[in-house]
């Protein structure tokens, strides 16, 4: 598996992250859990490199990888202080994953929740 390290991207304002892991299904075998954990760690490294973005789009598989391992979300909760706009690509099974993710990012001002079939729900929060 490739290892990622993103540095010196503090001027990056917007990012879209799609991460694919071949074992992303609901399989619970030991081999799949190890592979998914490794994918989750790579995703954390990518997200750590873009911590300064104001706008972030995550695919459903990226979100699922993060929420399958709660310690991953804990690492992210101290980052993304500038994040104001979040777009999540979801399908019904990912709703719990989205809620777990949003618990850690209460400072978001705009949330776009894109579901399949193509229905977009937008919510703007005012402080």
> Tens of pLDDT along 9-36?
888 899 999 887 777 555 567 788 888 8
pLDDT (0 to 100) of residue 116: 63
* Structural domain includes residue 35: yes
pLDDT-based confidence at 118, cuts 50/70/90? low
b/e sequence 69-100, b meaning 16+ C-beta within 10 Å: beebbebbeebbeebebbbbbbeeebeebbee
Say if 5 falls within a structural domain.
no
Tokens 């991460």, residue located: 19
Domain count, the chain: 1
Segment 58-110, tens digit of pLDDT: 888 888 888 788 777 777 777 888 899 988 887 655 666 677 777 777 778 88
Q: Look at residue 1 and tell me if it is in a domain.
A: no
pLDDT band for position 54 (50/70/90)? very high
9 in a structural domain: no
Residue 3 lies in a domain: no
DSSP 18-39: ----TT-SS---HHHHHHHHHH
* 99, part of any domain: yes
Q: Is residue 4 part of a domain?
A: no
Which range of residues forms the domain containing residue 87? 14-124
Pick the closest to residue 18 from 38, 50, 52, 46 (CA basis). 46
Q: Which pLDDT score is estimated for 13?
A: 92
Asked whether residue 33 is assigned to any structural domain, the reply reads yes
State residue 99's pLDDT score. Answer: 75
Q: Are residues 61 and 98 in contact, defined by beta-carbon separation less than 8 angstroms?
A: no
């Amino acid at each position: 598996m490739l290892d990622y390290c993103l540095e010196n991207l503090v001027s990056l304002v917007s990012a879209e992250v799609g991460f694919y892991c071949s074992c992303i299904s609901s399989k619970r075998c030991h081999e799949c859990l190890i592979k998914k954990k490794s994918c989750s760690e790579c995703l954390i490294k990518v997200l750590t490199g873009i911590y300064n973005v104001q706008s972030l789009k995550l695919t459903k598989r990226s979100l699922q990888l993060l929420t399958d391992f709660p310690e991953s979300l804990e690492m992210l909760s101290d980052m993304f202080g500038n994040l104001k706009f979040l777009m999540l690509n979801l399908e019904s099974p990912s709703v719990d994953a989205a809620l777990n993710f949003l618990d850690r990012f209460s400072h978001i001002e705009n949330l776009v929740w894109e579901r399949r079939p193509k229905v977009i729900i937008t919510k703007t929060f005012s402080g």
